[in-house]
Structure 1
Amino acid sequence: MSDQRILITGAAGIVGTLMRPRLARPGRILRLLDIAPLDPAALGEQVETITGSVTDAEVLARACAGVDAVIHLGGISREDDWERILEVNIDGTHTVLEAARAAGVPRVILASSNHAVGFRRIGEDGPDGLAADSSTRPDTYYGVSKAAMEALGSLYHSRFGMDVSCLRIGSCFDRPADVRQLSLWLSPQDCARLLEACLSTAEPGFRVLWGVSANTRAVVSQAEGERIGYRSLDDAEVFADQVPPGELPVLLGGAFCDIPLGQHNPL
C-alpha cells in the first residue's frame, strides 16, 4: 500500500506550524507549500517541501500532483486592502481548487474563519450556539474572502464531486489570549482531531464546520463536526485565570467589526 500524501498550503504559518507535527504519522507524507522556504532536513523523513505562492497556478499544479488530499491554510490571515485580499485569498483559493480538480485530488479542506459570520450577534441562535452552516455575514474584506472560499468549495463539490470541508476556525493558538477567545478557542490538538475527522469522512460531501474546542463558554455549535466524528478533548476554561479581564463582545467578530475596511491590522 502506498503512503498517503497530503498537501498543506501555508505550512510555515501559525496554524501550519502547529499542525505539521500533529498530522505526521507512519504511512503519511506531508507535502508542505509556503512562500517562506522550509528545510525538509529539519522536518523529518516523511516530508516534501515546495516554495511558492498559492496564487501561482504552475506551482500549485506541481504541488497537487499525486496528492490524496489538500489542507488549504495559505493566505492573508488579517484584514488588508481589497486588491491583496482578492489576489491571495479569493483568487488563491480558486487556484488551489482548480489545481486539485485538474490533478484528480478527491478531498480538500479549506480554512475558513469566524469572520465569515463576524456580524452575527452572539446568542442570536439560542443556547446551542450559532450553527456552523449559518449564512455568511462577514465583518471585513478578510471575512468576505472566507465567505467566497466557502462558496468556491461548494461549487467545486457540486460541479466535480470533490469532498470539501470548510472550517470556520475561531482562534487556533497554544492558548487563548482574551475573553472572546475563551469562547472561540481551538486547541492545536483539537484542530488536528478535526482535520483527521475531515480526512476520514466516508462519503464525498460539502460541509461547513466550526473549528472550536469544547469550551465551557462556547457560543457556537459543534453538532456539524460531531456528525463526522470530531470529538474535542480540550476546553479554554483551564486558561481562564490567565486571561485579562474583559467582556464578551456583542458581535462574533469582536474588534474586526470596528476596524476600517482595508486597513492592514495586527489583530
Structure 2
Amino acid sequence: MTAQRVLITGAAGGVGQILRPRLRQDDRVLRLFDIAPIAPAAEGEPVEIVTGSVTDPAAVRAACEGVDAIIHLGGHSRETSWAQTLDVNVNGTQVLFEAARAAGVRRVVLASSNHAVGFRTRAEDPGDGVPADLSPRPDTYYGVSKVAIEALGSLYHSRFGLDVICVRIGMCFPEPMGVRGLSLWMSPDDGGRLFQACLSAESPGYRVIWGVSANTRGYLSLAEAEAIGYRSKDDSETFAAPILAAENAPPVPAELDLIGGGFTTTPLGEANPL
C-alpha cells in the first residue's frame, strides 16, 4: 500500500514542531517545508525535508507534487507590518492553493486563528460554546490575514472541490499562557488529535472549527471539531492555580471578554505579546 504523503508548511515553527512527532504513522510520510532550518530526520523517521518559501511559486509547486494532503502553517505567526503580512500570509496562501489545485491535492488544512474574530466576545456563547464559524471581526493585521486565507479556502473549495478545514487555533503551547490561555489553550497532544482528525475525516467539504482543548474555563464550541472526529483529552485547569496566583486573578481583566484579549489594543503592525 502506498504511504500517505502529507505536506506541512511552516514545519520549523512552534506548531509544526508539535505536530511532527504526533502525526507520525508507519503508513505516512511527512514532507516538511520551511524557509527556516528544520531539524534533520531521526533514524527511521519517515520525513522528507524541503527548504523553500511559500512566496516562491516554483518551490511550492515542487513541494506539492505527489502529496495527498496539506497542513498549511507557513507564514508570520505574530503581528508584523501590513506589507509583510500581505506578502507572506495572504499571497503565500494563494500560491499554495494554486499549487495544490494544479497538483491534484484534494485536502488542505489551514492554520487560522482566534484573531480572525478577536473583537467577538465570550458573551456570544449561546450556552454550548461560541460557534466556530462566527463572521470575521479581526483584531490585527495578522487577524485580517487569517480572514483572507479562510476566504481563499472557501473559494478553492467552491470552485475546485478541495476539502478545506480552517482551524481557528486558540493557543497551542506546552502550557497555557496567562489567564486568557486558560480559556483558549490547546495542548500539544490535543493538537495532534485535532489535526489527525482533519486528515482522517471523510469528505469534510469546507469547515471552520476551533482548535482548543476541553478546558474547564473554555467558552469556545467543540461541537464543530467533534463532528469530524476530534476528542480532546486535556484541560488547562491543571495549570490554573499558579497562573491565577501570579496574575492576581480574579477579577478577570475586562479585555478578556474579547476573544482577542490584549491583541485588540496593541499597535497595528508591531510585534505583540502572546
TM bracket, shorter-chain basis? over 0.9
Give the letter aligned to residue 121 of structure 2. Answer: R
Please give the residue correspondences for 1:6-21 in structure 2 after superposition, counting only pairs within 5 Å.
6-21=6-21
- Post-superposition shift, 1:219? 1.2
Q: Distance in 2 between matches of 1:201 and 1:177?
A: 30
Query: Given that residues 123 and 129 in structure 1 are in contact (C-alpha distance below 8 angstroms), is that contact kept between their aligned partners in structure 2?
Result: no
Q: What's the secondary structure of 1:11's corresponding residue?
A: coil
Q: Distance in 2 between matches of 1:212 and 1:45?
A: 28
In structure 2, the partner of 1:150 is 150
Query: Given that residues 79 and 261 in structure 1 are in contact (C-alpha distance below 8 angstroms), is that contact kept between their aligned partners in structure 2?
Result: yes
In structure 2, the partner of 1:125 is 125
- Post-superposition shift, 1:122? 1.4
- Post-superposition shift, 1:266? 4.0
Percent of counterpart pairs with the same letter? 63
In structure 2, the partner of 1:159 is 159
In structure 2, the partner of 1:52 is 52
Task: Kindly indicate whether residue 260 of structure 2 is the aligned counterpart of residue 263 of structure 1.
Answer: no
- Pick closer, same or farther for the CA change 1:130–1:41 going to 2, 3 Å: closer
- Pick closer, same or farther for the CA change 1:254–1:204 going to 2, 3 Å: closer
RMSD after superposition: 1.2
Alignment: residue pair count: 267
- Post-superposition shift, 1:224? 0.5
- Post-superposition shift, 1:38? 2.2
Unaligned runs of 5+ in 2: none
Question: Which 10-residue stretch deviates more, 238-247 or 23-32?
Answer: 238-247
Q: What's the secondary structure of 1:165's corresponding residue?
A: strand
Q: Distance in 1 between matches of 2:226 and 2:136?
A: 21
- Post-superposition shift, 1:58? 0.5
Superposed CA deviations along residues 33-90 of structure 1, whole A, max 9, x for unmatched, are: 0111224344743010101111111110010000000000111011111000000000
Match of 2:257 among 241, 250, 253: 250
Query: Given that residues 176 and 236 in structure 2 are in contact (C-alpha distance below 8 angstroms), is that contact kept between their aligned partners in structure 1?
Result: yes
Superposed CA deviations along residues 147-190 of structure 1, whole A, max 9, x for unmatched, are: 00100000000000000000000000001021100000001111
- Post-superposition shift, 1:231? 0.7
Q: What's the secondary structure of 2:234's corresponding residue?
A: coil
Unaligned runs of 5+ in 1: none
Q: Distance in 2 between matches of 1:180 and 1:109?
A: 25
Q: What's the secondary structure of 1:202's corresponding residue?
A: coil
Query: Given that residues 161 and 204 in structure 1 are in contact (C-alpha distance below 8 angstroms), is that contact kept between their aligned partners in structure 2?
Result: no
Q: What's the secondary structure of 1:192's corresponding residue?
A: helix
Q: Distance in 2 between matches of 1:73 and 1:208?
A: 16
In structure 1, the partner of 2:223 is 223
In structure 2, the partner of 1:171 is 171
Task: Kindly indicate whether residue 241 of structure 2 is the aligned counterpart of residue 234 of structure 1.
Answer: no
Q: Distance in 2 between matches of 1:124 and 1:61?
A: 41
In structure 1, the partner of 2:206 is 206
Please give the residue correspondences for 1:128-143 in structure 2 after superposition, counting only pairs within 5 Å.
128-143=128-143
In structure 2, the partner of 1:182 is 182
Q: Distance in 2 between matches of 1:266 and 1:34?
A: 24
Give the letter aligned to residue 94 of structure 2. Answer: H
In structure 2, the partner of 1:5 is 5
Give the letter aligned to residue 102 of structure 1. Answer: A
Give the letter aligned to residue 81 of structure 1. Answer: S
Q: Distance in 2 between matches of 1:44 and 1:259?
A: 45
Q: Distance in 2 between matches of 1:172 and 1:256?
A: 17
Please give the residue correspondences for 1:88-107 in structure 2 after superposition, counting only pairs within 5 Å.
88-107=88-107
Q: Distance in 1 between matches of 2:63 and 2:18?
A: 21
Superposed CA deviations along residues 186-218 of structure 1, whole A, max 9, x for unmatched, are: 011111111111111111400000000000011
Superposed CA deviations along residues 106-150 of structure 1, whole A, max 9, x for unmatched, are: 000000000000000112233222100110100000000000010
In structure 2, the partner of 1:80 is 80
Q: Distance in 2 between matches of 1:39 and 1:231?
A: 29
Q: Distance in 2 between matches of 1:68 and 1:217?
A: 37
